Amino acid sequence: MNVRRFLLCTLCLGLAAGCSKPITPDPMPDNSNPPAQTEKPSTTGQGQPVAYTVKNSGIRCFAPPCPTHVATLVNDPSAEPIQIHEIDFQDLNPSEDQREQLMRKADETPEGLKVEAVLEKKLKAGPAGDATVLRVKKVLP
């Protein structure tokens, strides 16, 4: 009886130890050939501002960056909207109240906020990956 228990314990211990470590290490991701961008940059020329309408996307996330807004071209509203993770008003230098009013217009009004802005990619902005930043150059009426 004791030999049977000993063999059973040895077998279980061997299986547990063998299953706890991978047989082969996970391969490192190959970043030498980055995947093609699915989103085209919507800026014309070298950093030229483009007119966008910014609206709330309705998306809420647990991990940043989160695409909380969408931007559509003013001159082509039928174009596919671009997901925006961050809106930067730094070039306008607004007060906190002005910034809140602009964000409220983008979030709560059906027509959204019309701006002239430049799109930029922020690489590895958080656990969810890269972020698209909308750098506002001018607020349009």
Over its length of 141 residues, how does the chain's per-residue pLDDT go in tens digits?
A: 577 887 777 766 665 655 544 444 444 444 445 444 444 444 333 479 999 999 999 998 888 889 999 999 999 888 999 999 999 999 999 999 999 999 999 999 999 999 999 999 999 888 888 999 999 999 998
pLDDT score, position 103: 94
Q: What is the pLDDT of residue 81?
A: 94
List, in order, residues 6 or more apart from 59 with CB less than 8 Å away: 66, 67, 68, 83
pLDDT number for residue 9: 74
pLDDT (0 to 100) of residue 139: 94
H or E stretch at 47? none
Amino acid identity, position 93: N
Question: What is the per-residue burial (b if ≥16 Cβ within 10 Å, else e) of 10-24?
Answer: eeeeeeeeeeeeeee
CA distance 113 to 94: 15
Q: Could you give phi then psi for residue 20, rounded to 5 degrees?
A: -80, -20
- State the pLDDT at residue 47: 76
| pLDDT for position 10 | 76
Burial, 112: exposed, middle or buried (Cβ in 10 Å; 0-12, 13-18, 19+)? buried
pTM (whole model) above 0.85:
no
Q: Compute how many other C-beta atoms are within 10 angstroms of the C-beta atom of residue 72.
A: 19
Of 113, 123, 44, 103, which Cα lies nearest the Cα of 132?
A: 123
How confident is the model at residue 28, as a pLDDT? 44
